[in-house]
Chains A and B, each alone.
Chain A
Amino acid sequence: MRDPGSFDAFYNGSVRRLIGQLHAMTGSRTEAEDCVQEAYARAWQRWDKVAGYADPEAWVRTVAYRVSISTWRKAASMRVAHRKHGAPTDDSGLNPDYVAIVTALRQVSTGQRQAIVLHHLVGLSVDEIAQETGAAAGTVKARLSRGRHALAPLLDDADNDSGPRAVRV
Chain B
Amino acid sequence: MRENEFGTELRTGAYAVSTSTTPTAAAAIRRRGDQRRRRNAIASGALAFLLGAGGGGVAYASFSHPVSGSNSPSATGGATGRASGAPAAVPGASRPGIVAVTTGGQVEVLNSTTGVVAATLTGMQDAIGDEVAVSPSGQTVYFAARQDCGDKIESVPIGGGKATAITSGVLPAISPDGTEIAFVRESYSGGPSEISYTCGGVDQTKKAEVVVRDLANGSEQAYPAPPNALAWPVSHVSWSPDGETLLVSAGPATGTQSWDLLALNLASAQYYAPLSAGTAGNTDIQPGEGSGNYYREGAYLPDGAIFVNQLCCTSSTSSNGTVMSSLLLEITQSGQQVKQVAEGDLTRDHTSLDATKGWLLYLSGNDLFVSDNGATPVALSSGFIAAAWVPGAS
Contacts and interface: CB of A to CB of B under 8 A. Distances in A.
A32 interface: yes
B191 A168 contact: no
Main secondary structure of the interface of A (DSSP, over half): helix
A153 B341 CA distance: 26
A41 B128 CA distance: 30
Nearest to A8: B26
Contacts of B219: none
A87 interface: no
A161 interface: no
A108 interface: yes
Contact of A91 (B17, B321, B343): B17
B36 A148 contact: no
A77 interface: no
Given A8-B26, A165-B323, A125 B197 contact: yes
Interface residues of B, number: 91
A144 B10 contact: no
B342 interface: no
B150 to A, nearest CB: 9
B24 interface: yes
B228 interface: no
Interface residues of A, number: 88
Contact of B13 (A40, A50, A99, A134): A99
Nearest to B253: A145
Contact of B343 (A49, A159, A168): A168
Nearest to A24: B14
A117 B10 contact: yes
Contact of B33 (A12, A43, A110): A43
A94 B17 contact: yes
A131 B72 contact: yes
Interface in A113-136: 117, 119-121, 125-127, 131-136
B189 A62 contact: no
Contacts of A120: 6-7, 10-11
Contacts of A101: 1, 6, 9-10, 13
A125 to B, nearest CB: 7
Interface stretch (B59-67, B263-271, B353-361, B372-380): B59-67
B186 interface: yes
Interface in A126-164: 126-127, 131-142, 144-146, 148-149, 151-153, 155-156, 158-159
Interface stretch (B132-140, B155-163, B254-262, B328-336): B254-262
Contacts of B151: 136, 138
Interface stretch (B82-90, B112-120, B274-282, B344-352): B344-352
Nearest to B204: A137
Nearest to A155: B1
A78 interface: no
Q: Max chain B CB contacts within 10 Å: which of A95, A119, A145?
A: A145
Contacts of B198: 127
Interface in A1-24: 4, 7-8, 11-12, 15-17, 19-21, 23-24
A122 to B, nearest CB: 9
Contact of B188 (A12, A62, A108, A137): A137
21 contacts: A7-B30, A20-B14, A24-B10, A33-B24, A37-B29, A45-B34, A59-B71, A59-B73, A109-B347, A121-B7, A126-B197, A134-B75, A134-B105, A136-B128, A136-B170, A144-B192, A145-B190, A145-B252, A168-B326, A168-B343, A168-B345
Interface of B: 1, 3, 6-7, 9-21, 23-24, 26-27, 29-30, 32-34, 36-37, 40, 62-64, 66-67, 70-76, 81, 104-105, 125, 128-130, 144, 146, 151, 170, 186, 188-192, 195, 197-199, 231, 233, 235, 251-253, 255-259, 313-314, 318, 320-326, 343, 345-349, 365, 385
Given A16-B23, A137-B188, A153-B314, 17 more contacts: A7-B26, A15-B23, A20-B21, A29-B21, A44-B29, A46-B62, A59-B72, A94-B17, A119-B195, A125-B197, A126-B195, A136-B130, A142-B130, A149-B252, A153-B324, A166-B320, A168-B326
Interface of A: 4, 7-8, 11-12, 15-17, 19-21, 23-24, 29, 32-33, 37-38, 40-46, 49-50, 53-56, 58-59, 62-63, 66, 71, 91, 93-95, 97-99, 101-102, 107-112, 117, 119-121, 125-127, 131-142, 144-146, 148-149, 151-153, 155-156, 158-159, 165-169
